[in-house]
Amino acid sequence: MAAAGDSDRRREIQSSLESIVESSEKWLGHLRRREFRVRLATAFLTTILGFFAVGASYLGLVLLVQGWPGLTALFNSRNEAAALAAGVFLVGVFCGALTYFLLKRRHEAQLKTLSSLIIEMKKIQNEEQKNETGGGGQGITEPALTLAEKIVTLVPEIVRKRNQDSLIFGVAAFLFTFIFSGNAGAAIVVGVIVWLYFRYEFRKTYEQEISKLEEQKRTFEQRKKDFLENL
């Protein structure tokens, strides 16, 4: 009876470990997709801000040094106006590209720990399955339990840091609509709708998936306690 009970407990905790890895991989993929969209939206915002900042700074400098005649001459000269537009465009694109790659580096660093934990966890699980099948081990080791505990603690922390992404999408949608339509009212409506949509999507996903992970965490901790007490 004791052996049967130990076997049942092992199966239960193995099931918990597999659920934790599955949920964590799902969140990892979700976060990577979301961060890609955040990088694109932020790069777009930086590009537009770069356009306006450089253009306004240059025009302000011309106005300060040469006055209105210099500013008028600038706009009346096609070559100078084209050179200014090209310079502003290149600086804006450079700022956007730089922002994208800096954010990518930051995002990858944030998810690197979680990705490493999941990879190591799957590796240990494969080794344990081989040992159990070959009769060379008990199937569950302390490293597997430790890694699982780290994963269920880390995932909610990473996810909570992304709860402001919807605002970035909303501002990007506002600017995009305003630039191509020239209608500030329509741009505000579109920006608010996009912001509310992504905020709703995030909260819905967060509440559903994190609640599942929290339940898995509670189940895992209880099964881990029972398992260790009966070793």
Domain residues for 166? Answer: 2-229
Counted domains in the chain? 1
- pLDDT at residue number 1: 44
How far apart, in Å, are the Cα atoms of 152 and each of 17, 27, 176, 219? 10, 11, 38, 11
pLDDT tens per residue across span 136-166? 445 566 777 788 888 888 887 777 666 678 8
- Contact between 58 and 89 under an 8 Å Cβ cutoff? The reply is no
- pLDDT at residue number 228: 67
Predicted confidence (pLDDT) at residue 88 exceeds the cutoff of 70 = yes
pTM tops 0.75: no
Classify residue 191 as exposed, middle or buried by CB count within 10 Å of its CB (0-12, 13-18, 19+). buried
CA-CA distance, 13 to 15, in Å (whole number)? 5
Phi first, then psi, for residue 230 (nearest 5°) are -105, 10
How far apart, in Å, are the Cα atoms of 200 and each of 50, 54, 154, 192, 203? 30, 36, 23, 12, 5
Q: CB atoms < 10 A from the CB of 155, how many?
A: 25
Q: Which amino acid is at 19?
A: S
Mean pLDDT of 128-132: 68
